[in-house]
Amino acid sequence: MIQFSETYNILNNHVHLYLKMGRKMKTVWLIGLIVTIVIISGCGTKITNDYLIGEWDSQSGNFALTYNFFPNGSYKLSALPPSLPTEYGKYTLTDSTLVLIDDTGKTTTQPLTYIDENTIKINQREYRRSSHGD
């Protein structure tokens, strides 16, 4: 574990190094810091209701799931082959969590992760935006 005095010495050394830099090096260092902050802040893209609206398909072997998210806050979950009944209900988003309330009133909370503009993960299962759905 780093002690306070060690942390102070490390920070102190970095400050002295920064102060010894020439004007051009300070500018390069500052630009690097800004780029780093921009890259870090871009990570963890939030998923919004508008982004989620549409049809999302997941294929795993011979089993497929499809979520349809509608603008009014409702959803439809269907499976192929139809071994599971089609589920209807309402959904809400809170940070990186998808909360589903089916038509019987049962609430399910599932982690939701943004992969890219056409791919999300719901509860560790990857879903791709359907090309024929809206």
Q: Considering the entire predicted model, what is its pTM?
A: 0.60
User: Taking residues 4-30, what's their average pLDDT?
Assistant: 75
Q: Given pLDDT bands bounded at 50, 70 and 90, which one contains residue 110? A: very high
CA distances from 19 to 13, 27, 73, 112 (A): 10, 12, 55, 45
Q: Of 84, 86, 94, 89, which Cα lies nearest the Cα of 69?
A: 89
Q: Is 97 within 8 Å of 109 (Cβ atoms)? A: yes
How far is it, in rounded angstroms, from Cα 19 to Cα 25? 10
Amino acid type, 132: H
Which of the two residues, 28 and 8, has the higher pLDDT score? 28
User: Taking residues 30-55, what's their average pLDDT?
Assistant: 74
Q: Given pLDDT bands bounded at 50, 70 and 90, which one contains residue 133? A: very low
Residue 107's contacts (CB-CB under 8 Å, 6 or more residues apart) are 99, 100, 101
Give the CATH number of domain 49-129; options: 1.20.210.10, 2.40.128.370, 3.40.640.10, 3.40.980.10. 2.40.128.370
pLDDT of residue 75: 95
DSSP, collapsed to helix, strand or coil, labels residue 7 as helix
